[in-house]
């Protein structure tokens, strides 16, 4: 079986920069509180009428396609991860397919909903299809517009300050060199905690899936038990990174670059210390983009590559934790 590799990456963030001070004009918060608790200085918000969830994904995808040295027509499978799709149905993968003109070839297009772990789940799915030889150029996208669904009142301030909009993409191909590429992926979930980080409405299980009451009682907005999520994340990130290391016989010190899902700079720092990694071996950009959920790993990965922080032969670890709860890791020989 052929090993899978990431052949190219891309990212897109909307141009509209929203600082902590901008948020402090809309509800009771401060730059100091946000930076101290999360490390975030600013995030991007989409421009309605210009940016869409699928469209931002396409922008990131075009860069990934170019970096991989392939043509759009070479793509034979699309995987799209988001928690806020353009429509309730169909998913956004078919919108990407149409925008790229791949509908003429009826390229299969799959949406996945595993929130902050979306990119890792998507990477693992892509890896399996590459290994079996079914597909040869898989486009994997993580794209999020959070700002249209956030609660800009004091009631939602704990969640609202954390999230930003953006998209990242990768092309997954068979590796010609059997020693290079994705060495292992590990996926987990624990539905016991489903409502601890969730948006509960609209809901297909209510008599009407969207009502005025849902808007009035704010159940259309994300709810989060922040402290609970924080503790769980700090436990699960190292656990799932160790799982990947054990599966491949590597040690923490063998990791050249860790790209953690950008949930909170304090979480990333805690994980870095638990893993015993120096600062230069962990790439963070949450300071500028906030938490972009499924997009955060591909945005950070693309940035690290473009900055020359990831070189051929490096051992790269990706790890994520988020709503579900879901968590996962991937270890890649670059």
Distance of alpha carbon 185 from alpha carbon 148, whole angstroms: 32
Query: Which of these segments, 29-37, 72-80, 120-128, 208-216, binds ligand UT7 (CB under 6 A)?
Result: 29-37
- Cβ proximity of 332 and 318 under 8 Å: yes
Which of 7, 63, 64, 116 is in the footprint of ligand UT7 by CB under 6 A? 116
Question: Does the protein bind ligand UT7 through residue 41 (CB under 6 A)?
Answer: no
Catalytic residues, which ones?
Answer: 116, 261, 291
Question: Does the protein bind ligand UT7 through residue 75 (CB under 6 A)?
Answer: no
Question: Does the protein bind ligand UT7 through residue 44 (CB under 6 A)?
Answer: no
The CB-of-61 to ligand UT7 minimum distance in angstroms stands at 23
66: DSSP letter: H
Query: Which of these segments, 82-90, 153-161, 183-191, 250-258, binds ligand UT7 (CB under 6 A)?
Result: 153-161
Question: Does the protein bind ligand UT7 through residue 161 (CB under 6 A)?
Answer: yes
The CB-of-27 to ligand UT7 minimum distance in angstroms stands at 8
Which of 139, 145, 172, 263 is in the footprint of ligand UT7 by CB under 6 A? 263
Distance of alpha carbon 325 from alpha carbon 301, whole angstroms: 23
Which of 233, 240, 265, 310 is in the footprint of ligand UT7 by CB under 6 A? 233
Distance of alpha carbon 1 from alpha carbon 21, whole angstroms: 52
156-170 per-residue burial string, b: 16 or more CB within 10 A, e: under 16:
bbbbbbbbbbbbbbb
DSSP letter for each residue of 79-128: EEE-SS-SSSSS-SHHHHHHHTTGGGGT--EEEE--GGGHHHHHHHHHHH
Q: How many residues form the binding site for ligand UT7 (CB under 6 A)?
A: 19
The CB-of-167 to ligand UT7 minimum distance in angstroms stands at 17
Which of 99, 158, 306, 314 is in the footprint of ligand UT7 by CB under 6 A? 158
Nearer to ligand UT7, 76 or 158 (CB): 158
The CB-of-263 to ligand UT7 minimum distance in angstroms stands at 3
Q: Kindly report the backbone phi and psi dihedral angles of residue 279, in degrees, each rounded to the nearest multiple of 5, phi listed first.
A: -55, -40
Q: Which residues contact 66 (CB under 8 A, 6 or more apart)?
A: 8, 10
Question: Does the protein bind ligand UT7 through residue 226 (CB under 6 A)?
Answer: yes
- Cβ proximity of 143 and 54 under 8 Å: yes
Distance of alpha carbon 267 from alpha carbon 260, whole angstroms: 9
Residues that bind ligand UT7 in the complex, under the rule CB under 6 A: 29, 33, 37-38, 116, 157-158, 161, 224, 226-227, 229-230, 233, 263-264, 267, 291, 322
């Amino acid at each position: 079986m052929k090993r899978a590799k990431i052949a190219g990456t891309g990212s897109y963030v909307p141009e509209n920069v929203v600082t902590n001070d901008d948020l402090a004009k809309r509800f009771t918060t401060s730059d100091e509180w946000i930076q101290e608790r999360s490390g975030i200085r600013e995030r991007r918000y989409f421009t309605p009428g210009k940016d869409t969830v699928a469209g931002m994904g396409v922008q990131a995808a075009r860069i990934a396609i170019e970096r991989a040295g392939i043509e759009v027509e070479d793509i034979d499978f699309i995987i799209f991860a988001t928690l806020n799709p353009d429509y309730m149905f169909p998913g956004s993968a078919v919108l990407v397919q149409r925008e790229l003109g791949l509908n003429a070839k009826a390229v299969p297009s799959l949406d996945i909903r595993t929130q902050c772990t979306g990119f890792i789940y998507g990477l693992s799915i892509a890896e399996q299809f590459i290994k079996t030889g079914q597909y040869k150029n898989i486009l994997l996208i993580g794209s999020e517009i959070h700002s249209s669904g956030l609660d800009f009142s004091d009631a939602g301030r704990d969640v609202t300050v954390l999230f930003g909009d953006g998209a990242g993409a990768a092309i997954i191909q068979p590796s010609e060199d059997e020693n290079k590429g994705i060495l292992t992926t590990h996926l987990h979930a624990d539905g016991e905690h489903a409502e601890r980080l969730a948006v509960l409405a609209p809901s297909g299980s209510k008599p009407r899936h969207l009502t005025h009451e849902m808007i009035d009682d704010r159940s259309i907005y994300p709810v989060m038990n922040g402290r609970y999520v924080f503790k769980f994340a700090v436990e699960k990130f190292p656990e799932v990174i160790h799982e990947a290391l054990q599966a491949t016989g590597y040690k923490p010190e063998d990791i050249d670059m860790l790209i953690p899902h950008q949930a909170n700079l304090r979480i990333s720092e805690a994980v870095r210390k638990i893993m015993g990694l120096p600062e230069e071996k962990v790439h963070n950009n949450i300071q500028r983009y906030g938490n972009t959920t499924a997009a955060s790993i591909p945005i950070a990965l693309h940035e690290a590559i473009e900055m020359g922080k990831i070189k051929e032969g490096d051992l790269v670890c990706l790890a994520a934790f988020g709503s579900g709860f879901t968590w996962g890791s991937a270890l890649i020989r670059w």
